[in-house]
Structure formats: C-alpha cells, structure tokens
A and B are shown apart, each in its own frame.
Chain A
Amino acid sequence: DSGVTQTPKHLITATGQRVTLRCSPRSGDLSVYWYQQSLDQGLQFLIQYYNGEERAKGNILERFSAQQFPDLHSELNLSSLELGDSALYFCASSVAAERTDTQYFGPGTRLTVL
C-alpha cells in the first residue's frame, strides 16, 4: 500500500457525461500528479499540482481539468466524455516537486465510457 488513495475504483458512464475522480496523497506529500493508462497510449502524464498550484501540464485534453485543494487532495474532472476516454487513471504523489523525488502511485480509477 503506497498511502495514496483514489476513489472510486470503478466508474461506468455514458458518452457526453461528466465525472470527477478523487485522489488523496500520502501524508506530507505536496505534489500530486495525474496519469492516464490506456492500451494504445500507454502511461501518459496529464497534469501536476504542487501545494495547490498547477505546476506542469502534459497531454491533457481541454475537456479535462484538475485542481488541488487546501487539504492537498486533488480532483480530476472529465467532461463531454468520449469512448476513447475509457482508461485507467492514476494519481501519484511526491514529497515536493524535485526531479529526484519518487512518485508513489495510487491504485487507480478504471473509467469505462459506454
């Protein structure tokens, strides 16, 4: 157990809908990262937050957004969902935002869009 928690574990929804994925980082970690894992794209970095501020963006679609709250938990919002958004979404956390920091991953949320 990495100490990173994600809810829900599974999410099944329809095209065009909006969902929210939640992540709680390890105690004391200030950085939160979101990744998408799919069969065709592999593991792709989406976005990073550090202590409430957006730190870096990856291949995140405009339909997706995220935020990190004062208690450091983070939410990833996915809207106007398409079939291709079906994937495993991981949250990871690290102590700070240094390049040497280890990122610890949560168990993931499996999103299925029908």
Chain B
Amino acid sequence: AQSVAQPEDQVNVAEGNPLTVKCTYSVSGNPYLFWYVQYPNRGLQFLLKYITGDNLVKGSYGFEAEFNKSQTSFHLKKPSALVSDSALYFCAVRAHYGGATNKLIFGTGTLLAVQP
C-alpha cells in the first residue's frame, strides 16, 4: 500500500536559518511526489513536485526538495527561513501505476514555526 510519513509533527527554526521538513514514502514502482503548504483557515497551496529527471526540484517561494530514491525520501528545504513561512506543510505521493485512481496520499503534516 502507498503511504507517506512525516516524522516530525513540528519543526522550529530561527529566521534566516536553513530549514528542512522531512518526508519519506512507500510506493510500488516510481513515485510522483508533491509538497503543499496550508496557512491557517486556508486551502492547500501547491509548492513543488517531482515527476522524473533532476533529483533537486525547485518550487515556489524559494523552496526546493530533494528526491532520494535509495532512502525513499523527499525532504523539503529552504536556505533561509522567513517568519511568513510558518505554516502546516504536507507531503503527498501518487503511484506511477496501479489502478485507475490518481488520488494523492498525504502525510500527517508538519507544523513549521519560524521564530523572529
């Protein structure tokens, strides 16, 4: 079965420091991986996705993520955190094949808190 794990419920980082939000996945075959961000009382906003090709994916608002097939990970990173980055971050996976559905399987979310 497909699954996504976000091992940290919360990540705390000081403004200006680099941040990492961790994600590992389990899926049969090649994965398609996504990161979304949710601000309070808002919907999910798409940040970036990995489909194929370069393992380092660049996305919105200065975020990037690195796909590591051997470690089945897709960690979200940003070189310099902003207070405005504080939000709930979701990792999601979709299998490359296996049935008609292309639903997204979401992790439980990681709350990022950036202190001034």
Contacts and interface: CB of A to CB of B under 8 A. Distances in A.
Contacts of A63: none
Given A43-B90, A105-B36, A56 B102 contact: yes
B89 to A, nearest CB: 12
Q: Which of B34, B49, B99, B101 has the most CB of A within 10 A?
A: B101
Contact of B104 (A97, A98, A103, A107): A103
Contacts of B94: 99
Interface residues of B, number: 26
A64 B51 CA distance: 33
A69 to B, nearest CB: 21
Nearest to B95: A99
Interface in B23-53: 32, 34, 36, 42-46, 49, 51
Given A2-B45, A105-B44, A108-B43, A100 B51 contact: yes
Interface string B97-109: 1011111111111
A84 B49 CA distance: 33
A45 B104 contact: yes
A98 B96 CA distance: 10
A57 B103 CA distance: 9
B109 A42 contact: yes
22 contacts: A2-B46, A4-B43, A43-B106, A45-B101, A45-B104, A48-B101, A48-B102, A48-B103, A55-B101, A56-B102, A57-B101, A58-B101, A58-B103, A97-B102, A99-B32, A99-B96, A100-B32, A100-B51, A102-B49, A105-B43, A105-B44, A107-B43
